[in-house]
Structure 1
Amino acid sequence: MRSILKPIAPALLGTLWTASAWAEPQPWEIDFPAAASAQMQEYISFHNLLLVIITVITLFVAALLVYAMVRFRRSRNPVASKTSHNTLIEVIWTVVPVIILAVIFVPSMRILYYTDRTPDAEMTLKVTGHQWYWTYEYPDHENLTFDAYMVQDGDLKPGQLRLLSTDNEVVVPVDTNIRVLTTSTDVIHSWLVPALGVQKYAMPGRINETWFRATETGTVYGQCNQICGVNHGFMPVQVRVVSKEEFAAWLVEAKQRFASAGQPATQLAAVEAR
């Protein structure tokens, strides 16, 4: 699916785009992370379109206000006009907003349906939210299952990011339509990975569905963005995108590493004690 609108020049938007889709977060960064999937590129393009539209509207309204204050100030117009109706102006301010809404509506609905679900998923990733960690399951690969906890500050290794790195990362192949199923065992959570353009609620007793297709290899991060309890801010998401060959090799290693079901009870107790 082609982008609705190619990214506008950074100088026009007043934003700085990251050179790499996998650049680590930096202090004082603003704007979206660089797109790491087709969905996120669509979101960024749609955002750019809306930014141009709202900027033009804001400048136009501001210019009208300044003109009205200068042209029709009391000193210049001591006798106010008694005009109460103008058919042309009323037609314009009715038709123009309708056209603007149509311009917004069409690409908005295209993105909504495009990002909803994929009819030709190549693999499935099931995500289960807990207070306060994630369980990942690969139903297409012998139900490979493991838990992912945030790496505590004292256990961080070189290259790991505070509050974002997990002990077990999600590994997915590049250029693959991946169906994501989300659910929860306790309260409402939300699985969010901004660079992939994925955000889906994980609700107890319900399976929600979304999808993504990563376009480059590398590591991206996310977090639960639903206020799910006292440790809400400590259940990050770490996704590593690899080549299909590397993914096949990882599956072999992961099936051996996670052969014993469940996480150590001491680890779970440590997380719940935070």
Structure 2
Amino acid sequence: MFWSQLSFQDGSSNLMEQLIFFHDYTMLVVVMIMTMVIYSFISFMINSFSGRFILEGQMIETIWTIIPAMILIFLAFPSLSLLYLLDEVNNPMVTLKVMGHQWYWSYEYSDYNHIEYDSYMLPEEDLYTGEFRLLEVDNRVIMPMMTDSRILVSSSDVIHSWAIPSMGLKVDAVPGRLNQLGLTIKRPGVFYGQCSEICGANHSFMPIVLESVSTKSFLKWLD
């Protein structure tokens, strides 16, 4: 365990970067509140709770009612803005359909004919040097970077959850229901995730691997 592993993964999409910004902003507010509360508590202890203007008085009661309300407002507006941004899907260039099964994923590129496949976790004996145990799959999701994409998620049996932390993606795959996500990947790379819903005995063995490539490489892969 290293100190660098205690924070979020580097944001690989606009959504994840905004989530990290909001988290840091919220933590700053929390630290300020904790500092004020600790200071007040120590002050009360030193003065033996004898401050007449602290223990009783309409002015101080008004202050410690209004200030928390203002803090909640400053937290609510960016939170609501980010919430609506997460649900926004604008003119996607690529649509990927994700279907959860017990216990693997299947993918379909809805904009193209006959491009669909299943993705299973690679057993340990099939791994190459440098590959991650319990996270590698036989068929990765290939997506173009810097392209507005739409991801449709559903399930064929029980509730699963398609999640990639570095992308800020997490959506339930519910039988009979179609959920959607918007995605714009900012950099090339290979990104890992797992099912985040307890879906049965092999819940821990249905990983997700998304590979981000250039548009030219993506078109070549489609051909």
Q: Tell me the TM-score normalized by structure 1.
A: 0.77
CA distance in 2: counterparts of 1:174 and 1:84, whole angstroms:
59
- Counterpart pick for 1:132 among 103, 106, 122: 103
Is 1:193 the counterpart of 2:164? The answer is yes
Give 1:117 shift.
2.6
CA distance in 1: counterparts of 2:144 and 2:208, whole angstroms:
17
Q: How many residues align?
A: 221
Is 1:108 the counterpart of 2:84? The answer is no
Give 1:81 shift.
5.5
Q: Which 5+ residue runs of structure 2 have no aligned equivalent?
A: none
- Counterpart pick for 1:235 among 203, 206, 222: 206
Counterpart code for 1:139: S
Q: Which of the pair has more CA radius of gyration?
A: 1
What are the superposed Cα offsets for residues 77-113 of structure 1, whole Å, 9 maximum, x if unpaired? 6xx9598641211111111111111111111111111
Give 1:223 shift.
0.4
Once superposed, what is the RMSD of the aligned Cα atoms? 1.7
Q: More strand by proportion, 1 or 2? A: 2
Q: Which residue of 1 aligns with 2:31?
A: 55
CA distance in 1: counterparts of 2:65 and 2:150, whole angstroms:
43
Q: Which residue of 2 aligns with 1:173?
A: 144
Select between 189-198 and 110-119 the one with higher mean Cα deviation: 110-119
- Counterpart pick for 2:42 among 66, 73, 88: 66
CA distance in 2: counterparts of 1:246 and 1:159, whole angstroms:
23
- Counterpart pick for 2:16 among 14, 30, 40: 40
Residues 197 and 212 in structure 1, CA contact (< 8 A), matched pair in contact too: no
Counterpart code for 1:62: I
CA distance in 1: counterparts of 2:77 and 2:122, whole angstroms:
43
- Counterpart pick for 2:88 among 107, 113, 117: 117
1:84–1:159 Cα change, 3 Å: closer
Q: Which residue of 2 aligns with 1:152?
A: 123
Residues 164 and 236 in structure 1, CA contact (< 8 A), matched pair in contact too: yes
CA distance in 2: counterparts of 1:243 and 1:42, whole angstroms:
23
Q: Identity rate of aligned residues, in percent?
A: 38
CA distance in 2: counterparts of 1:143 and 1:194, whole angstroms:
29
Runs of 4+ with deviation above 6 angstroms: none
Q: Which residue of 1 aligns with 2:195?
A: 224
CA distance in 1: counterparts of 2:119 and 2:106, whole angstroms:
6
Give 1:205 shift.
0.6
Q: Which residue of 2 aligns with 1:248?
A: 219
CA distance in 2: counterparts of 1:83 and 1:176, whole angstroms:
57
What are the superposed Cα offsets for residues 37-61 of structure 1, whole Å, 9 maximum, x if unpaired? 0000000000000111111111211
